[in-house]
Amino acid sequence: MALKLTVIGAGYLGATHAACMAELGYDVLALDVLPDRVERLAAGDLPFFEPGLPEVLRRTLDSGRLRFTTSYEEIAEFGDVHFVCVGTPQKAGEFAADVSYLDAAISSLAPLLTRPSLVVGKSTVPVGTAERLAGMLRALAPSPEVELAWNPEFLREGFAVQDTLHPDRIVVGVRSERAERLLREVYQYQIAEGTPLLATDFATSELVKVSANAFLATKISFINAMAEVCEATGADVTMLSQALALDDRIGGKFLGPGLGFGGGCLPKDIRAFMARAGELGVDQALSFLREVDAINIRRRVRMVDLARVLLDGSFHGRRVCVLGAAFKPNSDDVRDSPALDVAVAIRSQGADVTVYDPQALDNARKVQPTLNFGVSALDAATGSDVVLLLTEWREFRDLDPDVLGARVAARRIVDGRNALDPERWRASGWTYKALGRP
């Protein structure tokens, strides 16, 4: 009999996992505690932007393989394997992760599990969380054949469908041959394609995701630290990055210099990792991550400084165009967005700031309603004294400097992502500045 899967938490991770598992042919029932979200998803209305996912959602709903509910009772009765995909945001005023949504999901599900079941955590958590939740399951579940496994997600926003259907690796933290067998069955299609599955203990599986994010954040901050050195010496950080990328021990991924990282994963994950290391008494092992975080924040301050210098030292009464609100292209996620942080900082210094983003305007308005928002890049740039490119959307990279130049009050641009060709823009009469370049 084919496995039936459930997904608890229908946000970005959960909705993606549920739709993609249904795309592979499984019957999937997904739960969320927000009725409005469930209603939208059940109607095929994706409440966030993710390329390719709306089509997968529509196909799987139409096929009948995917359904949504608000009922834990229905989830418990339906599923053989229950994936828990709730959020673990950073606690307000702290570095530590807030796992209260995860605790609530397990405590709601466990008392209803009256038959053999596998509960699989996919959330990013502090190491040691799985051990604690396994104890909660044992204490609350009526059936003695209920167990926990941990299966961290490795989704990249903008590529989540690809990363779910064709991942580069699958990691499962398990304590029994049965749990590993069930997860190998769940991921049989990916394994058949050649995706390696690594079975580990709980702690290792929890550490894989945060360790990967800490490494990637370190790589980004390393090249941005080199950008600071390049600015002091007149060197070109983009050429330095190219040279480093040719070393096959280093590689070019996550070595793009610029405004730094943001979003809902890297910043909160490295901070939660540091907090957990402190709780375990090994905080010195991760002390370098404090500088990784500090370098990342300094890039935002430096961007504001570069723009101010172009405006003769003051933003007061000047018009500033910010191209980008999402923390990265192909996403509408504005959590910890460097672009929005810069826009707000400049506005606080007296500028009239107008922001445009192809997908993230609605979310940006919710978190920063006092900013102005344009309906297009040209609209946002009209009459501006300086343009800041802060999210490297393709449409911004493809802007014609002459067309844009006809709309601005002065041809000044700061390229926060090193996404433009300086020679082309300077040939069109623009004063061009970028982080880490002469």
Give the CA dihedral 214, 217, 222, 224, nearest 10 degrees. -160
The pLDDT tens digits of the residues spanning 125-183 come to: 999 999 999 999 999 999 999 999 999 999 999 999 999 999 999 999 999 999 999 99
265 is a catalytic site residue: yes
Give the integer Cα–Cα distance in Å for 414 and 308: 10
Chain segment 367-386, per-residue pLDDT in tens: 999 999 999 999 999 999 99
Query: Is the distance from CB of 153 to CB of 209 less than 8 angstroms?
Result: yes
Closest CA to 33 of 5, 78, 71, 6: 71
Is pLDDT above 70 for 398? Answer: yes
Structure tokens at 329: 């292209």
Query: ∠ CA(385), CA(387), CA(389), 5° rounding?
Result: 170
Structure tokens of 3? 């496995």
Given this model, what pLDDT does residue 2 score?
86
Q: Rounded CA gap, 240 and 238, in Å?
A: 5
Q: Are 22 and 60 in contact (CB under 8 A)?
A: yes
Cα angle 66-71-76, degrees, rounded to a multiple of 5: 80
Whether residue 174 contacts residue 183, with contact meaning beta carbons closer than 8 Å, is answered with yes
Give the chain's end-to-end CA distance (angstroms, integer). Answer: 65
Specify the pLDDT at position 380.
98
What pLDDT does 184 receive? 98
Token readout for 198 is 């690594």
Report the percent of the chain where pLDDT is more than 70: 100
Across 185-190, average pLDDT? 98
CA distances from 426 to 211, 230, 412 (A): 41, 20, 10
Locate 403 and state its tokens: 């067309």
Please, are residues 438 and 426 in contact by the beta-carbon 8 Å criterion? Answer: no
Q: pLDDT (tens digit, 9 = 90+) per residue, 200-233?
A: 999 999 999 999 999 999 999 999 999 999 999 9
Other CB atoms within 10 Å distance of the CB of residue 196: 11
State residue 438's pLDDT score: 86
Max CA separation in the chain (angstroms):
73
DSSP letter assigned to residue 43: T
SS3 of 319, please?
strand
* Relative orientation angle of helices 288-310 and 202-233, to the nearest 10 degrees: 40
Catalytic residue among 20, 230, 265, 321: 265
DSSP state of 169: -
Name the pairing type of β-strands 66-69 and 81-84: unpaired
Bridge partners of 373, per DSSP, are 355
Q: What is the pLDDT of residue 151?
A: 98
The CA distance from 361 to 365, in Å, is: 6
Q: Residue 24 region, left (φ>0) first, then alpha (ψ -120 to 50), else beta?
A: alpha
CB 393 within 8 A of CB 358: yes
Reported as a pLDDT band with limits 50, 70 and 90, residue 1 is low
Structure-token match 């993710």, residue found: 50
- Average pLDDT value for residue range 312-326: 97
Contact 307, 232 (CB under 8 A): no
Query: Distance between CA atoms of 362 and 371, rounded to whole angstroms?
Result: 12
DSSP string computed for 76-124 = HHH-SEEEE----PBPTTSSSB--HHHHHHHHHHGGG--S-EEEEE-S-
Tally of CB atoms within 10 A around 119: 27
Going from the N-terminus, what domains does the chain have, and what CATH number goes with each? 4-200 (3.40.50.720), 215-434 (3.40.50.720)
